[in-house]
Chains A and B, each alone.
Chain A
Amino acid sequence: MGAVAKKPYIMPALSQYAEVAARLKVDNVSLRYQSPKGDTFTALDRVSFEVPDQQFAVIVGPSGCGKSSLLYLTAGLNEPTEGEIYVGGRKVEGPGADRGMVFQGYTLFPWLSVRQNIEFGLKRRRLPQDEIRTIVEFYLNEVGLAKFAEHYPKQLSGGMMQRVAIARALANDPQILLMDEPFGALDSQTRLQMQQLLLQVWGNSKKTVVFVTHDIDEAILLADRIYVMGARPGRIKEILDVPIERPRNLDVVMEPEFIRMKRHILGLLHDDMEEVH
């Protein structure tokens, strides 16, 4: 992506989170809903896994497998019926700025400019004004939107809005970045650009990322490790390391290793669909 500044920036806010082996630990988590009729729907059934620090973890699965629910639970926006989630060794008991999230829909505040959107979390934390300015400038450059700082969301394209959403989440210097199909609503060209941009931003920040998608190509391109989920009930079926070297560009989709993995994951998801029918 030519739009992204290549200047050797120093991270403005240094992560001062505890050193832990597993940045995210999901421990025996179940999520069940009671339908109005009285029967129980199991969205997640005793899910356990860990994501090591600085990893790019991608969760793939068919719709209804509870992959988004898992993110909402980690963000603290919903409570598990059973089990616990630990981020940086601390149990999740509600939402907080240490777990940034990028949503599938556009969630920029339409009454705030790009700059003010990125400032939102920093202002809530009452950081000094000059520090806020430095951080915002840094992330505006990271996502290539320095020229659009004073624009309002309605003046931006879908891809640009998601770039602001990424910058806004990262500006808080969270322990972990949760991404819920963030490129799902974008056209395929923009989607490819955004994947490259995300890899670049992630390479610079080395945040732990948990990225949810149903797009297998996207999963293999981005992930260090892929968590394949099955539906009804939602559970982890298999965990796969992606042995493809970084930096990765769009050509990886032609590599034999990529195709082998894709075939394997397709097989896993296909089995799941057979079970349904």
Chain B
Amino acid sequence: MATQKSWVQRCLTPKVDLPGRLVLSVSGLCWLLVLGLWAILSYGGVVPSMFLPTPGGVIAAGVRLASDGTLSKHVLASLEVVLIGFAISSLVSVPLGLLMGSFRIVQAFLEPLVNFIRYLPVTSFVPLFILWIGIGLEQRVAVIIFGVFFQQLVMIADVSKGVSKDLLNASYTLGASRRDVVLHVLGPASLPGILDTLRVTMGWAWTYLVVAELVAASSGLGYISLKAMRGFQVDVIFLAIAIIGLLGLITDQLFRLLRLRIAAWAQ
């Protein structure tokens, strides 16, 4: 597409769209730079291999762990913790958040406490959880829930607060009862915002996973990182980090697709 302004000018103007190819190449360039820097530092021997593995080394570690089945075992263990914790948290926070955003009384009751708990560092509760529920799966799931639930609650309450009052008024004049308004108006109107919240908090769930697994676990990606540290296997630590990033990216894209599918009207 021919434009009057030069590319340089367009790149330096705020909020001006650029051709797709340019955007793609710039995104690729960033990755190349990071990977290139990594390659130079590791292959060039600038940083000793004890602290920084080579890209090839990480891939080799991946192949090694994948072939004997340990990798899939730990990936599945981590996925299990994240998905169970995230699902339990979401199943409660979505309805409760909607109520909190829609009914002033629920908000008055919950908000002060929730806002207090929300700022407590999750990590400080890990010892307490170990004391209370041991070091099994339940403990790790509890860390995820604790990390995600209160944030979800506040974000979903905000989503439902944002639903236009006009929309509710219109449904009342169409004969909707208060129950109808909650089920048939507030619910669907909040759906895109709910999915956005779930998408963002899913990312946080992955963050808390490592916290949970570093401290007390016998499987999972956080656990193998810790074990690798003891054995100076930096390549395995890098591998675990890369896989967590990749899994996070996949779940993020799944939520994006889900939103496109079931809330296409909001795009």
Contact = CB atoms under 8 A, between A and B. Distances in A.
Interface in B171-199: 171-177, 180, 184-185, 188-189, 191
Nearest to A178: B173
Interface in B196-222: none
Contacts of B167: 107, 109
A226 to B, nearest CB: 24
Interface string A185-204: 00000000000000000000
Contact of B173 (A77, A109, A111, A153): A77
Contacts of A107: 164, 166-167, 169-170
B173 A75 contact: yes
Nearest to A154: B265
A172 B170 contact: no
A124 B265 contact: no
Given A109-B188, A110-B266, A120-B184, 15 more contacts: A72-B169, A75-B172, A77-B173, A95-B172, A99-B173, A100-B174, A101-B170, A103-B170, A110-B265, A111-B191, A120-B171, A120-B176, A121-B176, A124-B177, A154-B265
A153 B164 CA distance: 15
* Main secondary structure on B side of the interface with A: helix
B265 A121 contact: no
A267 interface: no
13 contacts: A76-B172, A95-B169, A97-B173, A99-B173, A109-B188, A110-B266, A111-B191, A111-B263, A120-B174, A154-B265, A168-B174, A172-B174, A172-B175
Contact of B265 (A77, A103, A111, A178): A111
A165 B166 CA distance: 12
How large, as a class, is the contact surface on chain A? 20 to 34
Interface in A54-82: 72, 75-77
A77 B172 contact: yes
Given A109-B188, A111-B263, A152-B265, A124 B175 contact: yes
A103 B188 contact: no
Nearest to B263: A111
Interface of B: 164, 166-167, 169-177, 180, 184-185, 188-189, 191, 263, 265-267
Nearest to B187: A111
A121 B175 CA distance: 6
A37 interface: no
A96 interface: yes
A125 interface: yes
A100 B191 CA distance: 27
A121 B174 contact: yes
Contacts of A97: 173-175
Contacts of A120: 171, 174, 176, 184
Interface in A155-182: 165, 168-169, 172, 178
A120 B176 CA distance: 9
Interface string A89-110: 0000001110111010101011
Contacts of B170: 101, 103, 107, 165
Nearest to A101: B173
Closest 9 CB pairs of A and B: A97-B175, A121-B174, A95-B172, A107-B170, A101-B173, A111-B188, A111-B265, A124-B175, A107-B166
A66 B184 CA distance: 31
Given A111-B189, A111-B191, A124-B180, A169 B266 contact: no
